[in-house]
Each structure stands twice: as C-alpha cells, then as structure tokens.
C-alpha cells in the first residue's frame, strides 16, 4: 500500500488543481453577474398547472415613460407614427405616418441587419430592436440573432447596440434573442434568449441590462420567454412573461431590481397550440394578450394565420382571471 501512496497523492493534487481551474474559469465567465438557474421550473410548472392560484394583485394602466425618437421632429414627421417590423413590404424597420399611416420613412440603411421581431423605446427616444430569423436563411442569419440593435434618437442611425457571444442560434434552433422591454423605474432593459433550448430541454435566459454601461446585472436561466411586460400591482412589481413552450402567462416578482428564482403561473389559454406573443396593459385589471402558434421553427413572421387576441380581466371579487377571445 505504501508504494502506491505517492501515486494517490499525485492524483489528488491533479484533481484539486483541476477543480480550482474550473472554478476560476466559471467565476471569470460570470464576471460578478447574479446568475440564477431555475432548475425546478418544470416541476414548478406542473404544480402551477394543478393549482393556478397565484394572485397578481389589482393594477391600473400607468403613464408610459417612453418617448418618440427625436429625429422625427427634426425631419418634421408628425405624430402619431407607427413603427413597422411586420416584414410585409419593408425589410428591417419602417415608420409610417400621416393620414391612415400612408406615408413611410424607410432609409435603405435600416435593411442592413435583415429582420426584427419586436422593439422597445427608452426615455430619450432610442429604439432597441430584437432580431428575427426569417423563412429564407442567409449566410449571416444565425450570427445576427445574438445582437440587440438600436436606432439612435438623434441620429436615426441603425447599429448593433450590444452582442451576446454566448447566444448561438443554429439550424436546430434559429432563434436567439427574442424579447425586450424597458424598465421605467430604473431605466434598465430586460431581454431574453432561447437559442440553447431544444424540444427536450428548456434553457432560455432572461437578462437584466444597464444600457449606460452595457453590463448584465442579472441572468435568470431555465425559462423560454416569448414576450415580456413589466407591471406594477398592489402586490408589487412583476415581469409578465409569455411562454414559448406552453400556452401560459407567468409572473416573476421583481424586488429591488432582481427577479425571483421561478415564476408563478397566472393563467393559460384554452388551446395548447397558442402562445402569448405580446402583452399590453389596457386598463384597470385588464390585459390584452396577442397570440401566435410557435414551434421553434422558421415561419413567415408577417403571416396572420392562426393569430388571436384575448382580453384577460382580473376579477378581484372572485380572485380569478376571466378570458375572452375577440372575434
């Protein structure tokens, strides 16, 4: 036994050094970012589906802090305007204005990063855009999905605002970054990605971003977000998220700028094939839910087939959500 002791000590030393190296690498990668891995989300979802009893609390529609781009005034483009990412006639971004929105601002430079799926504005009028893979894949399609894009409020120039090298869209899952919203309380951005998810595993990420420093303040892993919307209720601040994997609407509690580990389920749509693509706060205790079919495959984003709109109203007396589909 004694003759093997030096060998065993050597192996233990190597193992210890390997552990230290891996730990240091992970710490460096996280770069002081608060990372939460929601490993029990699947089990939590199953329990939520049985109970579905979480009360979001009463809420009202609040004044929006977001502003229109300043270049509209410089170019003497009158309000109201409509930012168009529908891909029906224009690649990239288009802004419609005038009588029945029949006039259009669409510089050719707004086409250079292909297609977008959604956007948000900040208090200065900057437009932050999220990419979208289109049905015809080009050589740079997957590479474009890792960026948040920005149209400058003053300059009107479209540029890459921030890149996430860890986001790697592919032919197996062409979606990268896919949702974004601006936080009026602390002037930050919330964004999400679903590139690492497969049909078997849910590996989506929510990012909380300081747009001034471009620093990621928090990462919450393990939920595939299709859309997001911040809301303040009597029970506090929440990040509402529509799921890319099921027909549910969920809520993360936001406390001092940090998300809770797992979301609470609020409601589910009547059809399993429907997914919530957009959430709007319409009035007191009233949400509008816009829905689409979604299967992690390339579809024509401009198609209106199988899309729907629901009115979700919170009944305080009965402590439950009431869903009505618009015809």
- 44 or 21: which carries more pLDDT confidence? 44
- 168 within domain boundaries: yes
The three-class DSSP label of residue 287 is: strand
**pLDDT interval class at 303 (50, 70, 90):** low
Work out the mean pLDDT of the chain and round it to a whole number: 87
Res. 46 pLDDT band, cuts 50 70 90: very low
Domain assignment of residue 65, yes or no: yes
Query: In the 3-class helix/strand/coil scheme, how is 34-45 assigned residue by residue?
Result: EEEECCCHHHHH
Of 185 and 89, more confident: 185
Residue range 61-73: average pLDDT? 95
Mean pLDDT of 129-153: 93
What pLDDT is attached to residue 152? 98
Q: How confident is the model at residue 37 (pLDDT cuts 50, 70, 90)?
A: low
Please give the average per-residue pLDDT across 266-282, as a whole number: 95
* Domain of 143, in residue numbers: 37-325
Quick check: is 19 in a domain?
A: no
Residue 104 is assigned to a structural domain of this protein: yes
Q: How far is CA 75 from CA 23, 31, 122, 150, 248, in A?
A: 54, 42, 20, 19, 43
Residue 85 lies inside a defined structural domain of this protein: yes
CA–CA distance from 71 to each of 74, 76, 157 (Å)?
5, 8, 10
| Inside any domain, residue 5 | no
* 20 part of a folded domain: no
The total of structural domains in the chain comes to 1
Which CATH number fits the domain that encloses residue 159? 2.120.10
Cis peptide leading into residue 283 (ω within 30°): no
The reply to whether 163 falls in a domain is yes
Is-contact 220 205, C-beta < 8 A? yes
3-state secondary structure of 240: strand
Please check the confidence at residue 22 and state whether its pLDDT lies above 70: no
Least confident of 73-77, 120-124, 134-138: 134-138
**177-207: buried (b, 16+ CB within 10 Å) or exposed (e) per residue?**
bbbbbbbbeeebbbbbbbbbbeeeebbbbbb
């Amino acid at each position: 036994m004694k003759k093997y002791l030096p060998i065993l000590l050597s192996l233990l030393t190597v193992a210890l050094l390997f552990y230290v190296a891996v730990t240091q690498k992970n710490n460096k990668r996280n770069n002081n970012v608060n990372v939460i891995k929601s490993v029990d989300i699947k089990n939590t979802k199953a329990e939520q589906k049985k109970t579905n009893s979480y009360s979001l609390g009463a809420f009202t529609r609040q004044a929006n802090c977001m502003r229109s781009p300043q270049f509209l005034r410089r170019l003497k483009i009158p309000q109201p305007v409509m930012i168009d990412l529908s891909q029906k006639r224009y690649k990239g971004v288009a802004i419609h204005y005038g009588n029945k929105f029949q006039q259009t601002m669409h510089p050719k430079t707004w086409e250079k990063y292909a297609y977008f799926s959604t956007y948000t504005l900040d208090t200065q009028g900057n437009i932050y855009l999220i990419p979208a893979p289109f049905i015809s894949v080009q050589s740079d399609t997957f590479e474009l999905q890792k960026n948040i894009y920005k149209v400058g409020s003053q300059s009107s120039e479209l540029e890459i605002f921030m890149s996430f090298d860890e986001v790697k869209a592919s032919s197996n899952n062409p979606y990268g970054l896919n949702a974004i919203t601006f936080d009026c309380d602390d002037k930050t951005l919330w964004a999400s990605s679903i590139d690492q998810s497969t049909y078997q595993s849910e590996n989506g990420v929510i990012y909380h971003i300081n747009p001034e420093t471009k620093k990621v303040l928090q990462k919450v892993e393990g939920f595939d977000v299709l859309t997001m919307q911040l809301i303040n209720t009597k029970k506090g601040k929440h990040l509402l998220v529509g799921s890319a994997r099921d027909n549910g609407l969920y809520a993360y509690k936001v406390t001092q700028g940090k998300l809770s580990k797992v979301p609470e389920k609020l409601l589910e749509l009547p059809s399993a094939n429907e997914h919530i693509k957009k959430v709007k706060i319409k009035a007191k205790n009233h949400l509008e839910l816009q829905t689409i079919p979604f299967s992690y495959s390339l579809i024509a984003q401009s198609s209106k087939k199988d899309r729907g709109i629901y009115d979700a109203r919170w009944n305080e007396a009965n402590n439950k959500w009431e869903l009505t589909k618009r015809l």
